[in-house]
Amino acid sequence: MRMETTFRAGLEGVVAAQTRLSSVDGDRGELLIGGFPVGELAPRARFEEVVHLLWHGDLPAEAELRELRRQLAGLRRVPPATLDLLRAAAAGRLPAMEALRMAVGSLSLATSGDAQGDAALLVAQVPVLVAAYARLLQGQEPVEPDPGLSHAASYLYLLTGRVPSPEAVRALETYLNTAADHGLNASTFSARVIVSTESDLVSAVTGAIGALKGPLHGGAPGPALDMVFEIGSRERAEPELRARLERGERLMGFGHRIYKVRDPRAEVLARTVAPLYGANGQGEVYELALHVERLAVRLLEEYKPGRGLQTNVEFYTALVLHGLDLSPALFTPTFAVARVAGWTAHCLEQLRSNRIFRPQSVYTGATDRRWVPLEER
């Protein structure tokens, strides 16, 4: 077999897997999840329906949905040693993504040993762990899970101790659905690489969380919201945005490596945001954010003509999650609550027709070195 010697930094343009889970077309601004356009699926589906779609290739029938809900609700109890780990992390004030990575790694204490069972355990546990840690950081005890609640309702309940409104649950589910899967992104690729060695799903998802935690992947929504708050008023928006662009800064929540038209997920979330802010008395923040968005897109075209810099998913993610009263520290962990559906589905897909990932590297080091004894160096 001929060796491929062309090096592509970041594997850009390299096709490394075949998948039936999601398809991203950046030029047309199209995202399909399990064959459905994201705008068709995300605002309608329960999160459990999307999980079923990703795991099994189809939407569940009513009995299947009931069974999946029962299964996930039955897996919400946190192993005591995992809880101890979260308490130690809270005492050390670790960032939530580090605590989550540690806690998920310890779920080997609760695995069933089969891949599908582990997928369910991981999807069920991630929101429980995130919510428990958020409370521990605030000096509060974790809330006892309520098995009667849906997956999304349970997450909000475990964060606050209050049963959320149907509108809040709908908004969260729409967000979770938009973020459930997105092609072969860095964390998903990490998960597939790990499981391709026939390692287990707990290891794969632990690695994926480590990849998601980096600021180049899961970290933008917090800064996008900070920018809106720092601008503070309509009058300050234009001078402030111009000043940032003239200093050569990037406007957070705009631009995307793949989408050169508006990110279809931003489109879906934009429709979700309006009713949330109508109900929570923070309409002014929403109005300001819309103003900043319109202005930013116009100014980006003025300062960076022809680059196609449009609003990305992170801008509206920040608005949805802020509208649900989640603190910015919870934005990336909530991304993990959604994406664990995709990670586990990719692991199951990889295992169904597995070949271990083993790319090549091009050696660029020295070739003619000779050993020098320690005392002569």
Q: Which residues bind ligand ACO (CB under 6 A)?
A: 220, 250-257, 300, 304, 307, 309, 312-314
Q: Is 272 or 312 the residue whose CB approaches ligand ACO more closely?
A: 312
Strand blocks (E) in 99-169: none
The least distance separating ligand ACO from the CB of residue 143, rounded to whole angstroms, comes to 30
The least distance separating ligand ACO from the CB of residue 71, rounded to whole angstroms, comes to 30
Q: Is 4 or 27 the residue whose CB approaches ligand ACO more closely?
A: 27
Strand blocks (E) in 35-173: 36-37
Full DSSP string of 12-49: TT------SSEEEETTTTEEEETTEEHHHHTTTS-HHH
Q: Any residues with CB less than 8 A from the CB of 236 and at least 6 apart, and which?
A: none
Written in H, E and C, the secondary structure of 261-323 is CCCHHHHHHHHHHHHHHHHHCCHHHHHHHHHHHHHHHHHHHHHCCCCCCCECHHHHHHHHHHH
Q: Is 162 or 257 the residue whose CB approaches ligand ACO more closely?
A: 257
The least distance separating ligand ACO from the CB of residue 185, rounded to whole angstroms, comes to 8
Q: Is 249 or 287 the residue whose CB approaches ligand ACO more closely?
A: 249
Distance of CA 144 to the CA centre of its chain: 25
The least distance separating ligand ACO from the CB of residue 14, rounded to whole angstroms, comes to 17
Block residue for tokens 């802010």: 277
The least distance separating ligand ACO from the CB of residue 229, rounded to whole angstroms, comes to 16
The least distance separating ligand ACO from the CB of residue 329, rounded to whole angstroms, comes to 17
Angle at alpha carbon of residue 88, lines to 147 and 107, rounded to 5°: 45
d(CA 355, CA 377): 44
Q: Is 28 or 250 the residue whose CB approaches ligand ACO more closely?
A: 250
**Beta pairing class for 22-25 and 36-37:** unpaired
Alpha-carbon distance values, 188 to 178, 273, 312 (Å):
15, 27, 19
Q: Are 348 and 335 in contact (CB under 8 A)?
A: no
The least distance separating ligand ACO from the CB of residue 210, rounded to whole angstroms, comes to 17
80: alpha, beta or left, given left = phi > 0 and alpha = psi -120 to 50? alpha
From 159, 166, 180, select the one nearest 336 (Cα to Cα): 180
Q: Is 101 or 244 the residue whose CB approaches ligand ACO more closely?
A: 244
d(CA 51, CA 67): 13
The least distance separating ligand ACO from the CB of residue 218, rounded to whole angstroms, comes to 8
Q: Are 131 and 83 in contact (CB under 8 A)?
A: no
Residues designated as active site: 256, 314
Q: Is 105 or 255 the residue whose CB approaches ligand ACO more closely?
A: 255
User: Using CB atoms, what's the residue nearest to ligand ACO?
Assistant: 255
Q: Are 105 and 206 in contact (CB under 8 A)?
A: yes
Q: What spatial distance separates the first Cα and last Cα of the chain, rounded to whole Å?
A: 42
Q: Is 83 or 227 the residue whose CB approaches ligand ACO more closely?
A: 227
